[in-house]
Amino acid sequence: MSRLKLLFCLILLSSTVLAQSRSAISQKAIGQVIASGIRMDGVVVPSGTTLFSPSLLKTAAQPGVVRLTTGDVLRLGANSSAAFQRSGSGEITVAVNSGTLSYRVASGSATTVASPASFSFPQRGTGLPVPDLSAGVVAVLMQAANKGALELIVNDATRFNPSARTMIRRRDGTTFEVHYLQKIDGNRLILEAPLGYDFQPEDVVLQGCECDQAVGAPSDGIVGRLTQPAAKGQKTLTIETIGFFDPEAPTLIKRKDGSIQEVHEIGSFSGNTLILKKGLDFAFMPGDVLIQGCAVPPLLGGAGWNWTRAFLYGTLAGGGAGAITYASIEDLTWEDCSECFEKFGYPKKP
């Protein structure tokens, strides 16, 4: 009898150990939650909490970042939920149940998907964070928006470029329209013009090149060229348009050699005369280009320049550096001819 009891105890102990082992395997860590106020399986957890498989994450008013053991960094949009689980092959499967989720694809570029969506992450993550601004799907509607409405309630408005074209599209892709934003207030998008169609919750809101294609903009973004010189501080430009030109769109004015560029809002446009809301920060010449659409950076109130290419531009334009010769453009430095930069409208070197 005692031997039977001992055998029974050994079997019971082995079963318990095996069950605990299986439980440990099923609860293997697959990442870490970097967010405050996020719910994991219905319970609010602090930032830094380990993410186990399987788990359901749900955000509230603020988005959350998830760093997976694959190396991928994901951004779960505000008012969104997603399920995480490790597959038998070691990949981590993510199912977006509501809202949006942003991540980087294998090439390193960022993308955002709207619910419902499901995909897997193998062991090849870039480890790079998702950028603040987004292209493609940016958010989904949380409430219906009827024809004539000027306001959209979205799950997450933190990644919108306020100056970019914005598309509202039904989930089945049958209906869409392109708008500009008047302002962003919390998770409310205020449109400059009323909606022409009805839209429902979970319909998607997009920004980026897809919006440009919808309105017939050129793929390279070049919509015009200067035909007359434009001095620093000048607001009135004489241009020729190339294809689709949108007087409401933020416009990048760029020297054809790429040395100087600045973003402007357009005050008015008639014939071949373009009037800017603000004067130019630098001088531009005939042939310099005007760019609109997804190639234009956000309106941040500044201009950019490339010191090396700026020097070459000044030399080609007849600057006082004609006596200086170089084996390659990379040999040029500011010290070679600092006055050449200032002569052609470039700022003093910081």
From CA 211, how far away is CA 213, in angstroms rounded? 5
pLDDT in tens, 169-211: 998 888 999 999 999 999 999 999 999 999 999 999 998 888 8
Same domain, yes or no: 89 and 147: no
- Between the alpha carbon of residue 73 and those of residues 121, 125, 145, the distances in Å are 10, 8, 32
Quote the pLDDT of residue 48. 86
From CA 50, how far away is CA 84, in angstroms rounded? 12
* Coil/strand/helix, residue 211: helix
pLDDT in tens, 315-332: 433 333 333 333 333 333
Angle at 7 between CA 6 and CA 12, to 5 degrees: 95
Is the residue at 252 inside a domain? yes
pLDDT in tens, 135-161: 578 899 999 999 999 999 999 998 888
Quote the pLDDT of residue 24. 42
| Residue 293 confidence class, pLDDT cut points 50, 70, 90 | confident
| Residue 127 confidence class, pLDDT cut points 50, 70, 90 | low
Beta bridge partners of 226: 239
**Number of residues assigned to the chain:** 350
Same domain, yes or no: 98 and 165: no
Same domain, yes or no: 296 and 316: no
Distance of CA 149 to the CA centre of its chain: 26
The domain boundary, picked from 93, 121, 149, lies at: 121
From CA 267, how far away is CA 249, in angstroms rounded? 11
- The CATH number of whichever domain residue 174 belongs to comes to 2.40.30
Quote the pLDDT of residue 123. 64
Is the residue at 18 inside a domain? no
Same domain, yes or no: 110 and 153: no
pLDDT in tens, 217-264: 888 889 999 999 999 999 999 999 987 888 888 899 999 888 888 999
Q: Work out the mean pLDDT of the chain and round it to a whole number.
A: 77
Distance of CA 104 to the CA centre of its chain: 11
Is the residue at 23 inside a domain? no
Quote the pLDDT of residue 6. 46
Query: Beta strands 136-140 and 110-114: pairing type?
Result: unpaired
- Determine the average pLDDT of the residues in 14-19: 46
Quote the pLDDT of residue 336. 44
* Coil/strand/helix, residue 335: helix
pLDDT in tens, 55-65: 999 999 889 89
Quote the pLDDT of residue 107. 66
| Residue 102 confidence class, pLDDT cut points 50, 70, 90 | confident
| Residue 312 confidence class, pLDDT cut points 50, 70, 90 | very low
Per the structure block, which two tokens stand in for 200? 């429902």
Q: Nearest 5°: phi and psi at 210?
A: -60, -35
Domain tally, the chain: 4
The domain boundary, picked from 188, 214, 240, lies at: 214
Same domain, yes or no: 143 and 185: yes
Q: Nearest 5°: phi and psi at 267?
A: -80, -45
Quote the pLDDT of residue 238. 96
Q: Residue 67 region, left (φ>0) first, then alpha (ψ -120 to 50), else beta?
A: beta
Is the residue at 171 inside a domain? yes
Statement: residue 19 has pLDDT above 80: no
Contacts of 230 (CB under 8 A, 6+ apart): 237, 280, 283, 284, 285
Domain holding 269, by residue range, is 222-302
Q: According to DSSP H, which parts of the chain are helical? A: 2-26, 209-214, 307-316, 338-343
Same domain, yes or no: 111 and 40: yes
Is the residue at 20 inside a domain? no
Statement: residue 83 has pLDDT above 70: yes
Quote the pLDDT of residue 125. 53
Same domain, yes or no: 296 and 315: no
Is the residue at 14 inside a domain? no
From CA 144, how far away is CA 126, in angstroms rounded? 37
Q: Are 277 and 265 a contacting pair, CB within 8 Å?
A: yes
* Coil/strand/helix, residue 49: coil
Q: Nearest 5°: phi and psi at 225?
A: -140, 150
- Determine the average pLDDT of the residues in 74-94: 89
Q: Distance between the two ends of the chain, CA-based, in angstroms?
A: 92
The domain boundary, picked from 156, 180, 214, lies at: 214
Is the residue at 349 inside a domain? no
Quote the pLDDT of residue 350. 43
Q: Residue 195 region, left (φ>0) first, then alpha (ψ -120 to 50), else beta?
A: beta
C-alpha count within 13 angstroms, C-beta hemisphere, residue 11 = 6
Quote the pLDDT of residue 2. 54
